Structure 1
């Protein structure tokens, strides 16, 4: 086996080729290190391209009153104050620089009449703050980062003649295991998806940037790659996951026709004036405005121009309330029998904008639904409903370095990392998150590599990793991975979805444990070449760990906050705000414990009014007034 094993040695191994992974790779390479980038699918097909609305950064181009402090406040409010304050602070402070940097590397943002980067409105943001490229911002980010990688490769070629050992992309390769020696990261093991041939990467630092967990659920905006690989790899390597109960069900995914089920309808549609109505034609979001605002909204103007006044005295359409609130509102309308025939509500932008403007401002939305579903959004409403979109929980990391807590040499950035978004992510914060913490992960890994000694991977470690890949082929008459995956998705959809109860979560935990037990007998027939059942056998194991972490964290949190709604505990509890949930894996099951949240320093605490903090914090916390 070892004679045929493909081997590579690098300083930094980046697992994931989305925005966070590529930004981390650039930073590590520019620090003088040799970098490998692992891409599960084709290079350029990262799920980042599906982020359409824009990247949030307080550049102040649309409103000069915007600044990092306002962005920080919005992010903490959106996360219901469960965010790691330091991550939210770094993100708010550094996002503008990352956008301008991206522009210098060739990103072609939409412009204002004055020639500045255009910034649009988005739910939960006080000011228009999202730098955008029509509704293709994620695609432009990936295109720009790809070109930057190519430029680095060409620079290496000019300088060294052979640039392969300095930065290289390995496409269509799955990592099955992160390897450790003497408690430290030593590399990773995986296989080529086309041939099944095994590959060993030796590297003292590994950056996980694998994205989300959406394929754990039945209806999701995530593409096939989103199987929670990074979350599970981190758990198995000894790292922790934080706050896995918080899943964002984007309020507007297509529910009909079937050809586009789950595909995201970007928040930009609502940002550009799209309105939500139920099957009675009611613009129902006004019923779900927080009570404090209900005496300050217009109900006698033109339907498309109705608005309410928010806590900062800004006129806003109710469709731009934070995503968790919009998703719950849609879910309530459907459950009350006011939904569409196919279990959603209507989203219509054609009443507000002309066909010409829609095609200009929302070109991807118009084109993909017209071509894939025969729905012309310039003339008709879309049927939309909540779709599993984003996981706020992820690897527990040190904010400044993105280092995974407790595992020397392991780093995480992007959606796979937890803490930044608290209990709910604001729209647009994901793309700037990728850039800010992708860079910091690259910096952290580079600093670590330069002060550590790489440990060679032992033959015993290699043999164990190879045996795990071969195991499904050695079984006969076992379970089918497709059937088990379908069962898991039914469990998560029905019992761990947008509205949860203790009884259903207990049932889910038992069912997930049973599926996990049966998954140990998954058998794969045929060879390794072009065998999707072979791939799913490993993806399934990852998704089961993620689902177990989510369900156990959710049953422990006896309150409703952000992306976690308990029907049996409908309100927020300020005592629960003081705790994160930490998931760890003992080799047999996921264990969840409480961990006290770090307290905001006084200079950040003082950015909020005491009356607002009373909604989130205990009197004792408020009395402290921030730590010194």
Structure 2
């Protein structure tokens, strides 16, 4: 299975975008608009990105349904949802720019649902004060990908190239896996090495900039809404290249995934069901979420069913149904009901839209959900409730980037979307993901273009020894005749993370997980894959497993270190939020093959942004020193 340079197909680009979902395509479109020759690397088929599974909508304060909505309210909701651990600059940019990015999609051909007066329709979602999610039924992510794909094709046609032409200034490489980012001798990004999945042929993309847009880490856990692509590739590539990850302890367990039949356990049930009026009930028929509203959210959420139902009919009523609490709160509540013995026969709770909305309404607003449950579980959601439970869905932690440019600490490396960290703090609000992809995808494309413009000398060059090492690493599983199967190690890794670093964490269990991960790493160093490189799924698994083990270690290390409960991170032995821990970002990096972690202060919230909140709310999260710039600080100091 030896190889040499003649076995490697070489390409030269200005920008290489790894990932063909919403952030990757938006970044590539922007880079191409800036005149750069751009490659888009898709791990799966073009159009099969995980973004298509985002169903509910894109959050943007356009004010089409409630004119009181604006970027300041959106910013406030995002910070509240993230329990004030968000990078405030990222949350500000996102809230301000999301409407323009949605209108841009519309101009490119996206067919959004409309209000009676013809504006883009917006629906309710958890944690959002007003109806804010621009949507296309419950297939919004699919429409986003369709629109961005068509934009890529249109750009190629503007250059008089057919789709897939090798000379096009924007080209998609489908079913291609990147295994290593390569740097020049002075530490700048110089390219990306990988292979074509169906043939096994190695490829080298020589480029001064790489934009990571690879999504999340869900395959590290056993029960997940994520598809097979989400193996933490971008997180691991960034670490291995010398970049830093932040706050990897914050993993969001979406409260509503399918729980039955077992073959579909974890598949996402969109938050749109609750946004459109669905309610949660336990096995005793009780609408239980009223019992779980935290004190910090008490003023924003209804206390009775009558008050909750007013939310959907009275635009001036601002107390939301408790089913629309942020996802971390709902997931923990469901977990508590099941642990208390009030769960469904298959270990979840009931999500009921049938008793709340007409069949016509459900089929119009939630067609994918109706089809999903009918085909996979033989449940008609227009007539009966769904069984649902928490599922690993999203990671808030990711590559540490500059908020304005999306640049990582390695020159020439950028990241956008779920692979980047900071925007969502400790918990992401539903709907913020799709607009996040658009806002920071564009900014990453701009950042890459500005970086290239700043290069006074020739493009950075790949070090031959690094290329040889990347080839040897990829081929290593074929050289072992009696090694272990990557499938077995992966299955045990998933079970370990699910059991010991899941929705509720305990110190000893996380320590046990870290011990198990050390053993998994030893076993992974002895993986064996039979056959040839072409059409070899075992080989693909071996490449992914390296990434998942590295990411799992980062999650577990940070989960052990953060001794508080905040957002997607719940420590049973430290159940409260701590104002001191709120000031800390956990930064992870690689020193050789060892993961290291340091504490880093979070960015200070500007005084004008602080002033958007009532100081009585902020004092639940922040110290008096942090609130010194708030207009109400004097009264707080006096004890009022």
TM-score normalized with structure 2 length: 0.95
> Shift of the alpha carbon at 1:160?
14
Q: Which residue of 2 aligns with 1:449?
A: 452
1:158 deviation in Å?
6.2
> 2: CA distance between counterparts of 1:595 and 1:538?
31
Partner residue of 1:172? 175
Instruction: Provide the residue aligned with 1:422 in structure 2.
Output: 425
Quick check: 1:299–1:306 contact (8 Å CA) kept in 2?
no
Give the ranges of 4+ consecutive aligned residues of structure 1 lying more than 4 Å apart after TM superposition. Answer: 158-163, 292-298, 306-310
**1:162, CA displacement in angstroms?**
6.6
How many Å apart are 1:308 and its aligned residue? 12
User: Aligned residue for 1:83?
Assistant: 86
1:130 pairs with one of 125, 130, 133: 133
Aligned pair partner of 2:43 in 31, 40, 45: 40
Q: Distance in 1 between matches of 2:628 and 2:268?
A: 43
Q: How far is the alpha carbon of 1:458 from its aligned partner? A: 3.0
**Is the CA contact 2:182–2:463 (under 8 Å) kept in the aligned structure 1?**
no
Within a 5 Å distance, the mapping from 1:22-61 to structure 2 comes to 22-61=25-64
Give the conservation status (yes or no) of the 8 Å contact 1:10–1:34. Answer: yes
Q: Cα offset for 1:78?
A: 0.4
Aligned to 1:102: 105
CA distance in 2, matches of 1:96, 1:345: 35
Q: Once the 2 structures are TM-superposed, how far is the Cα of residue 291 of structure 1 from its aligned partner?
A: 3.8
Q: Residues 201-227 of structure 1, C-alpha deviation per residue, up to 9 Å, x if partnerless?
A: 000000000000000000000000000
- Give the match for residue 235 of structure 1: 239
Match of 1:13 among 13, 16, 19: 16
* Whole-angstrom distance in 2 between the partners of 1:161 and 1:289: 52
Indicate whether 1:72 and 2:80 are aligned: no
SS at match of 1:256: coil
Tell me the secondary structure at the aligned position of residue 45 of structure 2.
coil
2:482 is the counterpart of 1:477:
yes
Aligned to 1:609: 614
By how many angstroms is 1:294 displaced? 6.2
| Contact 1:179 1:457 (C-alpha < 8 Å) held by counterparts | yes
Displacement after TM superposition at 1:372 (Å): 2.4
Aligned-pair distance for 1:461? 2.2
**In structure 2, how many angstroms separate the alpha carbons of the residues matched to 1:291 and 1:397?**
33
Q: Is the 8 A contact 2:493 2:517 kept in 1?
A: yes
Please give the alpha-carbon distance, in whole angstroms, between the structure 2 residues aligned to 1:212 and 1:581.
Answer: 18
Structure 2 CA distance, aligned partners of 1:523 and 1:160? Answer: 38
**Does structure 1 retain, via aligned residues, the 8 Å contact 2:302–2:320?**
no
Q: CA–CA distance in 1 between the matches of 2:163 and 2:306?
A: 67
Bigger drift between 138-147 and 149-158 goes to 149-158
Q: Give the Cα–Cα distance (whole angstroms) in 1 for the partners of residues 111 and 436 of structure 2.
A: 19
Report the equivalent of 2:386. 382
Alignment-derived partner of residue 638 in structure 2: none
1:583 paired residue among 554, 578, 588: 588
> SS of the counterpart of 2:73?
helix
Alpha-carbon deviation of 1:164? 2.6
Q: Give matches, 1:136-155, under 5 Å.
A: 136-155=139-158
In the alignment, which of 511, 517, 525 is matched to residue 522 of structure 2? 517
Say whether 1:191 aligns with 2:190. no
Once residues 97 and 600 of structure 2 are traced to their aligned partners in structure 1, the CA distance between those partners, rounded to angstroms, is: 28
- Which shifted more, 522-531 or 408-417? 522-531
Verify the 8 A CA contact 2:395 2:418 in the aligned structure 1. Answer: yes
User: 1:118 and 2:118 equivalent?
Assistant: no
Q: Check the 8 A contact 2:311/2:318 in 1, yes or no.
A: no
Report the counterpart of residue 636 of structure 2 in structure 1: none
- The correspondence of residues 287-298 of structure 1 with structure 2, limited to 5 A, is 287-291=291-295, 297=302
Q: 1:300 to 1:178 in 2, by over 3 A?
A: closer
Query: 1: CA distance between counterparts of 2:495 and 2:32?
Result: 43
Q: Any unmatched runs of 5+ in structure 1? A: none
Post-superposition shift, 1:462? 1.8
Output the CA distance in 1 between the equivalents of 2:163 and 2:348.
57
In the alignment, the residues of structure 2 paired with residue 168 and residue 133 of structure 1 have an alpha-carbon distance, to the nearest angstrom, of: 28
In structure 1, the partner of 2:637 is: none
* Distance across 2 between alignment mates of 1:605 and 1:75: 13
Correspondence 1:419-568 to 2 at 5 A: 419-452=422-455, 453-568=458-573
The one of 379, 401, 410 aligned to 2:405: 401
Counterparts of 1:367 and 1:166, CA distance in 2? 40
CA RMSD of aligned residues (A): 2.1
Distance 1:386 1:164 in 2: 46
SS of the residue 1:253 aligns to: strand
Match of 1:404, SS state, is: coil
Displacement after TM superposition at 1:479 (Å): 1.7
Contact 1:308 1:318 in 2 (8 A): no
Distance 1:297 1:447, change over 3 A: closer
- Paired with 2:334 and 2:101, the residues of 1 have a C-alpha distance of 35
Q: How much does 1:188 deviate?
A: 0.4
CA contact (8 A) 1:12 1:207 kept: yes
Q: Measured at CA, do residues 292 and 14 of structure 1 come closer, stay the same or move farther in structure 2, by a change above 3 Å?
A: closer
CA distance in 2, matches of 1:29, 1:523: 41
Shift of residue 371 of structure 1? 1.7
Tell me, in whole angstroms, the C-alpha distance in 1 between the residues paired with 2:23 and 2:536.
29
Between 132-141 and 160-169, report the one with greater CA deviation: 160-169
Aligned residues: 624
Describe the superposition over 1:486-518 as per-residue Cα deviations: whole angstroms up to 9, x where unpaired.
110111000000000111111111111111121
Tell me by how many angstroms 1:471 deviates: 0.7
